[in-house]
Structure 1
Amino acid sequence: MKIDAKTVKWFRIVLGIFLIVYALNKFFHFIPSSYGDMPETAQDFLDSTAVLLPYLYFFEIIIGFLLVINKWSPAIYIILAPLTIAFLIFSFSNKDFNEMWPALFVAILNFLLILSEKGKYKPLFA
């Protein structure tokens, strides 16, 4: 699958801005969000990791900024992959399919961006 450079640029910038806005919203709550009724285990997980979440959101802001300025983008896509998978797993485990669009959006964009740079990853798997 070959994606042209202009499309890759827009995907990268949109993903970066989305990550920045999503993380800043977790700090400043300027976009209303509702996770609906979470299963008790998911709420327990969030409660037990609440002290680490600000660091994760700060990390997302840095990743988003680096994507917007196109610094180390191929490395950032790989670094973002485990976070994307965790985001998807958490969203699926909540079983609230109306609220999982951010996870799907990030996963699809990250996957397409990784595919667009697949030639740069060949030495990793040789």
Structure 2
Amino acid sequence: MKIAVLIARILLGLVFVVFGLNFFFHFIPMTGQPPMPPKAQAFSGGLFGSGYFFQYMKVIEIVGGLFLLINRYTALFVLVLFPISLNIFLFHTLLAPAGMPIGLAVVILNLFLGIAYFKYYKSIFTATPTL
């Protein structure tokens, strides 16, 4: 189990660091990609059009991915990155199906790590917390 968690953590960390950095430095060529459907373009256009959101999200991806790679605050960053992973999956499932395999892989890795680190989340699910 430890080996599987290590592999999943490194893979997820690499995905977020590489694709987050690619947003800023464009080192992965995007030629040959199928064109995005109109709804996917509208959604992406809204995120870009806000002037800050996409950049903010990519910084969170890079920082979260780095913390996964160095294995610090891992349980926290698994939670922080889950909404982004879910959004990647839903975007590629509903709006741009050509990228669905990467979206599925990201959400599966994130869910697997969430289950692996569940012992750190148990206190969050306390119905009536006491001080």
Other-structure match for 1:43: 41
Tell me which residue corresponds to 1:66: 67
State the structure with more CA Rg: 2
Task: Say if 1:35 and 1:99, in contact at 8 Å, map to a contact too.
Answer: no
Question: What SS does the aligned partner of 1:100 have?
Answer: helix
- For residues 36 and 44 of structure 1, the distance between their equivalents in structure 2, rounded to whole angstroms, comes to 16
Q: TM-score under structure 2 normalisation?
A: 0.83
Residue 107 of structure 1 corresponds to: 107
Structure 1 counterpart of 2:113, one-letter code: L
User: What is the CA-CA distance between 1:39 and the residue it aligns to?
Assistant: 2.7
Using the TM superposition, give the Cα deviation of residue 112 of structure 1 relative to its aligned residue in structure 2, in angstroms.
Answer: 0.7
How many residue pairs get aligned? The number is 122
8 Å contact 2:39–2:95 — kept in the other structure? no
| Structure 1 spans left out of the alignment, 5+ residues | none
Report 1 or 2 for greater relative contact order, CA contacts < 8 Å, sequence distance ≥ 6: 1
SS of 2:121's partner is: helix
Quick one: distance in 1 between partners of 2:34 and 2:19?
18
Write the distance in 1 (CA, Å) between the matches of 2:96 and 2:39: 12
Aligned to 2:14: 17
Percent of aligned pairs sharing the same letter: 32
Residue 75 (str. 1) matches residue 73 (str. 2): no
Gaps of 5+ in 2: 127-131
Equivalent residue number for residue 89 of structure 2:
88
